[in-house]
Amino acid sequence: MTELRRKDKVASVKKLLAKGPLVVCMPNHFVCIHGIVDGKLLIVDPGGVLSYYWAIAGEGGKTAISTGKGRPDKNTGWRGSPAPDDEYKGTGYVSIPLDAKIYVPEPDPSDTKRYNYWSSDNKKNYQTPDKAKRFLDTISKPQSFWWAGGE
């Protein structure tokens, strides 16, 4: 999708979402885009990579990526059963404005375990706000999945 213009990328994502969730590859990780609401991508991120490692680049520095957006209701959204705790983490459901640029911020010195996830190439390519990219510009291999009856 990187060769497409921004409008074309958004249009392509919307078209694919009309058929169902969109699984995409971002650097070193796969996530699922499941909607666009109020100009924001709703993303299911099972590993919480976006909320743990990425930030929105802004004039005043970094802003945390919003979490807990688009997740099913804890009591009714899991076919009538309560959500399993490990699958209901708010960090696994994020929203990112379509026009926001995101980057990998400098690690907290005390958080060496989480930061080791990133290869040196990813640190180099996305580390600073001046290298920030729109989320749709970081993805590749989009695949739309649809199952009859939601199964």
- Whether residue 94 contacts residue 32, with contact meaning beta carbons closer than 8 Å, is answered with no
Contacts of 107 (CB under 8 A, 6+ apart): 114, 115
Which helix (H) or strand (E) is 60 found in, with range?
A: none
Contacts of 32 (CB under 8 A, 6+ apart): 21, 22, 23, 24, 43, 44, 45
- Whether residue 91 contacts residue 45, with contact meaning beta carbons closer than 8 Å, is answered with yes
Q: Which two tokens stand for residue 44?
A: 């299911």
How do residues 107-150 score in pLDDT, each as one tens digit?
666 665 555 555 555 556 777 778 888 989 888 777 766 554 44
Is 0.85 surpassed by the pTM of this model? no
How do residues 70-83 score in pLDDT, each as one tens digit?
777 766 666 666 66
